[in-house]
Structure 1
């Protein structure tokens, strides 16, 4: 786990930039709230609001990110009012919490904006339980959220908006479907079931800290689509929390809420959350657990027994999520993986068509955005296959098949990147053989998935001499055709059948 975190690729140092900017943005938000004379619980609320604004908003464009960030208070304020108003009414409060949890997951059907707003809604209800927010505190809490969002936005969109110099990120989503065929609908039902279990079981452990179990169950479902992904994520959450409690006992307990050293360690935890989130959920949960321990120290509640209780509540939440994904409208790993592979293969076809059109002389054709999109889709394929490739997985045949699929898709990505690089060369020329090679790639795509809804017609004009650019493009196309043809075996046969090498 440690090796993976430090050797993981960080193209353009995006993880490093994100982590440093988060420390600056959240630090500024906390400072502004404190200078405004707000009470400590409100300052903590402001810091968490800034963290969520920087962590969850992932729209494709800077303008979209700004719009989503502006909508966060509009979603969070009514939920805060609901949580504060029901604070002393356990049954309505619990039912409202489950409803907000389900709605927060269902909102993911509307893409990154729905995901960000749904997460913010759930977490504002959660924070109200964490800080025991009542109706009297609402005006000050509202002020803290507004100040924090403005301060963090000043850093994100003003002082350090590195996204303006980068291509829009690829945000892959599964096809929608309708009714219970839609993954987000199934997950919303699963979250409510998992949350109900966690809520009841969590209150058995603690009548005051039960919300940790509900929060753990809810977060296990974030960025997952299949039961396999959710199970692995639940295990990693418990593992990260367990290690984080040990670190928290060594760091947060001795500090005992001392302001300056606590602030310094909080900054390290914030950096860790943002830097590790994309590569290791266990490391991220370690940082989150230490951060929570420090916050409890600032609020004067920290003691070793509380850390042990947090571990128990986390385990209860993970168990609730496990039971829900196994028995409530399960989404199989195979079905999810097949859908992601289909999207990746279609993206390969679009990359190929755009590159071929560029080589044929079309100034408007550009494969680069599809190469970026393909990287995001391959990340989703790897995430979906991770449960099968886990060292503890007993399914040896499916593990071998999953590794073979990932290797072939990596081959496809490598050839597509090479083809795009050739197409970007202004000296590359037309060659009649490219048309035939592209046709074979298209046939290989159609053998794997349904034909794309729209294809790019490419007319390659023959030239008497072969150009080195065309020769390189042909090599990439031939290797791409081979990888796609080999991919047909693991994709088209039963996932439980032994994999016979070609």
Structure 2
């Protein structure tokens, strides 16, 4: 009973960890709600009126969500600096309350400084947010000079309460967050293996749904790996530990993705392309029974379930678990593979490599393990992992060249937001002399975390959509609450929690909860009416339009230019990773391949975000949407093969059983040259760039290998990645309209 109870609790924890990696969204929601609740409690004891309760709640929210540093000490410094900034901002807003023109000019200057402050990192961004939000709060409650002492007191109480909740009630150290992310990685890895089991068992009518689940699981696992990458520096004691965890996470991610491809290939009658795993909505290849004896199929299903158990119970110990681990690791040896067709044996090999990655992950995260039950195969895997760990040597990355003047993104954004806000102030005051600031707020928000006109247009559309539905919800809630003050505040807290918990998932949902909350705040301030909420929609639409106009006319960065810049970056990093990995596989000097691979992943993530305006469901350019999705999917396929090459190359210095093959360098020159050719054409449409094709890489190796053996199993694996990469690069040339030269006869 106790074991069953622990199992249920463990599965529940894993589900929570997988749905909210590191509990980052839950922490943000609890901190914000806790800070607001504590502020309301203190202000109630101090007998503040409703206006100052609302002001304190809004100040507590701003003081909590603005701070983004990861180290508690840095957070404390920023919070301490934020209080005088907030007091100065609210004081100026109150003093300029009756001086319309001067107040508007100062607001625009404040907005410029707040956005420009992003160039100074997280602290500059936080102080700018605090200054803007507190100025907005003063406008919202209509504060004048006479109300300034009590308003400053409410703001000070809010900052103190925010600090208490952040550091005492809901603390979150970098090490604890990283621990939560690691648990999320394990949980999502187990979910991916479950999806792969479903793919193995899926019938012809179910295979598309099962494949989509594998795609989603692979993407979610990669997302968690990138989140861990961003927290390693602060969450680990030193750089060598960070690099060790980075390597083990990368190994596990690559092994899991490769296992999914092998399962799909084994079930496919005509073989599966890697692109099938990365192109959303791509139909699954026709499937049938696994080739070979049914006994092998049953054994494979059992071992995939055993692999999932290893992942789920990575921190447990026991003889039974050791025996399962030993059996799976044995598949790394050729003589232990069960009799089956070659594609099925490849899946068994993939299970063995995944088990090795899980073992490495466990050693890296949980420390030394009991080795008393190890078989020779397991002992060899441990020796390989130990040798890799000993070879880790951190290297410093070179700083990127910084842009200056109006070419600097923060300066350009500050100018754009200032112009857009000026338009929003003028237009907003024509709509309403009292609530014009809603247009300015929307204009400000649509510029946050956006870099092109298309991104701003999509964000403005989502905010307007969420606002429209939020107005309906606000009308309903305001009618239900009436003048019950504490009921309204309770619902406000609930909506704020929902707002922060859903913010990373859906901007539309966040806007919905914000607008519904504002309806309740207007009710508390006794200024609620249907006209006010309709005006809120009109001001939101105006602010979004002003933002789009400013982005399109003032120092514009159109979507094509932005995506082309990011596409060029992805291609350059893809060429760097491929060239460095092949160089090391050919016997060249060791390189910092993991960092190069993660730079490639980050560049690809930036490109994926920038193409959202092109792939959005409402875009009228259907052909362009399909092309953008296809290009991103091809690049994800290329990145997968490049990561796999880098991971294999990392094994060379420490694995005596893996030898470098000097022939690889010459055989892959065409692939690297083609990648750089496409990058050149993307940067300059008039460039005379031509992608070349020719004999397969395997045939090039064979022609260079007279009198020698064909190639070993490791070289064979490398060849598969290189050939798929070569094919994907040639396929990438066509949608990007780069000429492809026919093979020479």
Q: The TM-score by the shorter chain falls in which range?
A: 0.7 to 0.9
The residue matched to 1:319 in structure 2 has which SS?
helix
Out of 24, 28, 36, the position equivalent to 1:18 is 24
Counterpart of 2:94? 84
Q: 1:67 to 1:10 in 2, by over 3 A?
A: farther
Q: What SS does structure 2 have at the residue aligned with 1:36?
A: helix
Conserved in 1, the CA contact under 8 Å of 2:59 and 2:155? Answer: no
Structure 2 unaligned residues grouped into runs of 5+: 1-14, 182-227, 232-398, 681-704, 741-745
Q: 2:551 aligns with which of 325, 330, 344?
A: 325
Superposed counterparts of 1:46-445, under 5 Å: 46-59=56-69, 68-134=78-144, 135-154=148-167, 158-159=171-172, 162-165=176-179, 166=181, 167-169=228-230, 177-256=403-482, 258-349=484-575, 351-352=577-578, 365=592, 367=594, 372-419=598-645, 422=648, 429-432=658-661, 435-436=665-666, 442-445=672-675
Three-state SS of the structure 1 residue aligned to 2:230 is: coil
- TM-score, normalisation: structure 2: 0.56
Q: Aligned equivalents of 2:532 and 2:104: distance in 1? A: 22
Indicate if the aligned counterparts of 2:678 and 2:738 stay in contact, CA closer than 8 A. Answer: no
Structure 2 distance, partners of 1:338, 1:156, is 46
> What SS is found at the alignment partner of 1:300?
coil
Distance 1:123 1:223 in 2: 17
Rounded to whole Å, the distance in 1 between the matches of 2:434 and 2:93 is 15
Once the two structures are TM-superposed, the CA of residue 33 in structure 1 deviates from its matched residue by 2.0
1:229 and 1:216 mapped to 2: Cα distance? 14
For the 8 Å contact 1:22–1:51, the answer to whether it is kept is no
Rounded to whole Å, the distance in 1 between the matches of 2:467 and 2:712 is 58
* Whole-Å separation in 1 of the counterparts to 2:169 and 2:566: 31
Who wins on radius of gyration, i.e. which is larger?
Answer: 2
CA distance in 2, matches of 1:74, 1:92: 22
Deviation at 1:468, TM superposition (A): 4.4
Alignment CA distance shift 1:394-1:264 (3 Å):
same
Structure 1 CA distance, aligned partners of 2:81 and 2:736?
42
C-alpha separation in 2, matches of 1:15 and 1:179 = 38
Task: Point out the more displaced range, 338-347 or 473-482.
Answer: 473-482
What's 1:472 paired with?
A: 717
Residues 382 and 66 (structure 1 numbering): CA distance in 2 closer, same or farther, change over 3 Å?
Answer: farther
In the aligned structure 1, how far is the partner of 2:51 from the partner of 2:668? 61
Higher relative contact order, chain-length normalized (CA < 8 Å, sep 6+): 1
Q: Which moved more, 1:256-265 or 1:16-25?
A: 256-265
Structure 1 residue corresponding to 2:728, chosen from 472, 483, 488: 483
Distance in 1 (alpha carbons) for counterparts of 2:667 and 2:86: 54
Q: Is the 8 Å Cα contact of residues 55 and 151 (structure 2) preserved in structure 1?
A: no
Question: Cα offset for 1:62?
Answer: 6.5
Give the whole-Å Cα distance in 1 for the aligned partners of 2:735 and 2:627: 6
Distance 1:394 1:119, change over 3 A: same
Which whole-Å CA distance do the structure 2 matches of 1:73 and 1:203 have between them? 30
**Matched-pair contact (CA < 8 Å) for 2:63–2:159:** no
Distance 1:213 1:477, change over 3 A: same
SS of residue in 1 equivalent to 2:625: helix
Distance 2:607 2:104 in 1: 36
Change (3 A) 1:357 1:10: farther
How far is the alpha carbon of 1:159 from its aligned partner? Answer: 4.9
Contact 1:174 1:340 (C-alpha < 8 Å) held by counterparts: no
Larger mean CA deviation between 298-307 and 316-325 belongs to 298-307
Kindly indicate whether the alpha-carbon contact (under 8 Å) linking 1:59 and 1:65 is maintained by their aligned counterparts in 2: yes
- C-alpha change, 1:164 and 1:307, in structure 2 (3 Å) is same
Residues 362 and 204 from structure 1, CA distance in 2 versus in 1: closer, same or farther, beyond 3 angstroms? same
The Cα offsets for residues 202-225 of structure 1, whole Å up to 9 and x where unpaired, read as 112222111111111111111111
Which range is displaced more, 131-140 or 241-250?
131-140
Q: Per-residue deviation at 1:406? A: 1.5
- Equivalents in 1 of 2:579, 2:57: separation in Å? 47
Alignment-derived partner of residue 32 in structure 1: 38
CA distance in 1, matches of 2:671, 2:170: 42
Q: Is the 8 A contact 2:27 2:170 kept in 1?
A: no
Gaps of 5+ in 1: 1-8, 451-461
Q: For residues 430 and 414 of structure 1, what CA distance do their matches in structure 2 show? A: 23
- Rounded to whole Å, the distance in 1 between the matches of 2:580 and 2:526 is 60
Say if 1:143 and 1:114 are closer, same or farther in 2 by CA, change over 3 A.
closer
- Hey, what's the Cα distance between the residues in 1 that align with 2:584 and 2:51? 57
Q: 1:49 to 1:156 in 2, by over 3 A?
A: farther
Counterparts of 1:150 and 1:121, CA distance in 2:
18
Q: Distance in 2 between matches of 1:438 and 1:273?
A: 50
Cα 1:34–1:390, aligned 2, differ >3 Å: closer, same or farther?
closer
Change (3 A) 1:33 1:58: closer
Question: TM-score, normalised on structure 1?
Answer: 0.80
1:389-425 CA-partner distances (Å, limit 9, x unpaired): 2333333453343222212222133334544655677
Q: Is the CA contact (8 Å cut-off) linking 2:421 and 2:443 kept in structure 1?
A: yes
Q: Deviations over 1:50-89 (max 9, x none)?
A: 4345544445766655654554335433322322221222
